[in-house]
Amino acid sequence: MSKLLDQAVAELAKLPGVGKRTALRLAIHLLRREKEDVALLAESLQRFRNDIRYCRYCNNLSDEEVCPICADGRRDRTTVCVVEHVKDVISIENTRQYNGMYHVLGGIISPMQGISPSDLKIDLLLENIARGEIREVILALNTSVEGETTTFYITRRLADCTGIRVTSLARGIGFGDELDYADDLTIAHALHNRTVIGQ
């Protein structure tokens, strides 16, 4: 019907979770927006893709060579929290409960997807630790088989580093979760690592 429409729909449909029907709806929506607004959307996507950098210390997304967290002198440089992705940094920052540093692996060890330890920023983590400031490494990876494998691999790599405490996130029942919907492993963990709340 219209090549311009077809192209816009085809490109939008390449986004994850966007089917042909949603792509068409998004394209039609763009017609109702000002031309300047659509230009702003298009430019911000392209600028993001072309100009974004990865922090040379923590591999987090950054506009500069060093990300704002690594550049922030008020943060606790003795603790580093190792995460899989940038979005995990955002999740943890949103809690406002953590004031240490981060280290973004950029993925997780997955033989199925052909991701080996050398594809991840593990050497960079060891370099950072070698500088001597870090006292605790929090491994905040997912509980999937790949996550556990990665946790195990990094723990082994850190075995030679003396004076470094390696921890992982507490496993237990999430707030708002119902006990009868939690899986056996989670309940077993929660029971084993139960917290004292009174004498």
Note the residues at the interface with a second copy (CB under 8 A): 1-5, 7-8, 10-12, 14-17, 22, 24-31, 33, 35, 37-52, 60-63, 67-69, 85-87, 89-90, 93
Name the minimum Å distance from CB 2 to a second copy: 5
What does the chain come to in residues? Answer: 199
Instruction: Print burial letters for 130-159: b (CB count within 10 Å at least 16), e (below 16).
Output: eeeebeebbbbbbeeebbbbbbeebeeebe
Q: How far is the CB of 84 from a second copy (least distance, A)?
A: 11
Which of 7, 155 has the CB closer to a second copy? 7
Q: Report the residue number, 120 or 158, with the smaller CB distance to a second copy.
A: 120
Shortest reach from residue 195's CB to a second copy, in Å:
30
Q: How far apart are CA 83 and CA 101, in angstroms?
A: 11
Q: Minimum distance between the CB of residue 159 and a second copy, rounded to whole angstroms? A: 32
Kindly give the residue spans of alpha helices, DSSP state H, lying in the chain: 3-12, 20-32, 35-51, 68-71, 86-95, 122-130, 145-157, 184-192
The residue (of 67 and 81) whose beta carbon lies closer to a second copy is: 67
CB of 169 to a second copy, least distance (A): 20
Question: Do strands 53-54 and 61-62 pair parallel, antiparallel, or not at all (unpaired)?
Answer: antiparallel
| Closest to a second copy by CB, 47 or 56 | 47
Closer of 61 and 182 to a second copy (Cβ):
61
> Which of 88, 57, 75 has the alpha carbon at shortest distance from 150?
88
